[in-house]
């Protein structure tokens, strides 16, 4: 499914692209041909960023659900996306940063601080089996950080406002190869850490005390997991903007395919999230042609009912 989605991403757009032109552009690039330029400067980088963002958010969502033992945990719902977004906006608007290699550090720091704040406010270390308090803490933090982000956008200069407006909706439009390269580096490091932690996460799924009895260093596991989540979520948000629900949906779909083993859940979550984001991006380009709807909006429209279904299935009680 990933390969068809990637191919569809190269073909979809406001300008029709014959299959022969796409194949020729990939195999025999000619910088004098405008169709080749569209493929290499716009659609190929956009496809790469969509795939990498999905891999990062899907892996981060699975890692957060394993760490908190909370089926509703994901970067968007717990305010981590909002923290990274606010930090990126601050770096761009106040310090004039223009390269992702500069403002990605703000995204990482914002994700880390927001994650720490929501875990403290929600007391996740004590209520991992009760999702409500953690989600409420994340929702409250998201509202606060979102309001601060809106304040920055409103007061931004017109040229910065245009770029913020597209980015804040979770759009891959205009993302270049430099964005893909920075995101690839952070996603690779984060996914590598997450995969190395998979055996410990399997033990933690039996309970924190049981995991410790099996020899898992829970403090080290939590610390390294937080580093991985910060890398994955911060870089993804810096590259594509705050995209919600992908990190929630993908791990649940991965468990239905891969079972309870996190050695398989983590990569499957990333792969499924990448496919979902590609589908959302292509759908947004096709249904509003020649304009487009941001992939983040499509993902939220599709993920909202999924979130409601999970809540109803779990029969959560208010506190």
Q: pLDDT tens digits, residue range 204-259?
A: 888 777 877 878 888 899 889 989 999 999 999 999 999 988 999 999 999 999 99
CB-based burial label for 3 (10 Å; 0-12, 13-18, 19+)? exposed
Domain carrying residue 36:
2-314
Q: pLDDT tens digits, residue range 14-72?
A: 777 888 888 898 889 888 888 888 899 989 999 999 999 999 999 999 999 998 888 88
Looking at the structure of the chain, the number of domains it has is 1
Check: CB of residue 280 under 8 Å from CB of residue 299. yes
What is the reported pLDDT for 86? 92
From residue 147, how far is each of 93, 98, 138, 304 by CA, in Å? 16, 23, 14, 21
Place of tokens 């995991």: 211
Domain CATH for 63 = 1.10.3470.10
Check: CB of residue 149 under 8 Å from CB of residue 121. no
Q: Is the residue at 319 inside a domain?
A: no
Q: Is the residue at 140 inside a domain?
A: yes
What is the reported pLDDT for 63? 94
Reply yes or no on whether the pLDDT at 125 is more than 50.
Answer: no
């Amino acid at each position: 499914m990933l390969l068809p989605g990637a191919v569809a991403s190269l073909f979809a757009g406001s300008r029709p692209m014959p299959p022969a032109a796409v194949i020729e552009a990939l195999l025999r690039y000619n910088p004098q041909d405008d169709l080749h330029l569209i493929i290499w400067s716009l659609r190929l980088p956009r496809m790469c960023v969509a795939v990498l963002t999905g891999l990062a958010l899907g892996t981060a969502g699975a890692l957060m659900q394993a760490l908190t033992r909370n089926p509703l945990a994901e970067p968007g719902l717990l305010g981590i996306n909002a923290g990274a977004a606010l930090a990126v906006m601050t770096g761009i608007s106040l310090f004039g940063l223009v390269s992702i290699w500069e403002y990605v550090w703000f995204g990482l720091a914002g994700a880390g601080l927001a994650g720490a704040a929501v875990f403290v406010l929600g007391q996740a270390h004590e209520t991992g089996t009760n999702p409500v308090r953690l989600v409420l803490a994340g929702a409250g933090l998201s509202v606060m950080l979102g309001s601060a982000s809106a304040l920055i956008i409103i007061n931004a200069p017109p040229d910065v406002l245009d770029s913020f407006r597209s980015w804040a909706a979770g759009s891959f439009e205009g993302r270049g190869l430099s964005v893909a390269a920075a995101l690839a580096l952070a996603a690779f490091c984060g996914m590598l850490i997450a995969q190395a932690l998979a055996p410990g996460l399997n033990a933690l799924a039996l309970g924190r005390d049981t995991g410790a009895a099996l020899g898992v260093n829970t403090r080290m596991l939590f610390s390294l997991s937080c580093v991985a989540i910060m890398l994955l979520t911060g870089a993804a948000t810096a590259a594509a903007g705050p995209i919600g629900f992908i990190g929630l949906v993908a791990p649940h779909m991965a468990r239905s395919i891969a079972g309870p083993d996190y050695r398989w859940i983590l990569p499957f979550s990333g792969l499924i999230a990448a496919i979902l984001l590609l589908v959302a991006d292509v759908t947004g380009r096709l249904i509003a042609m020649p304009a487009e709807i941001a992939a983040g909006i499509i993902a939220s429209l599709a993920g909202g009912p999924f979130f409601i279904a999970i809540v109803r299935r779990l029969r959560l009680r208010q506190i």
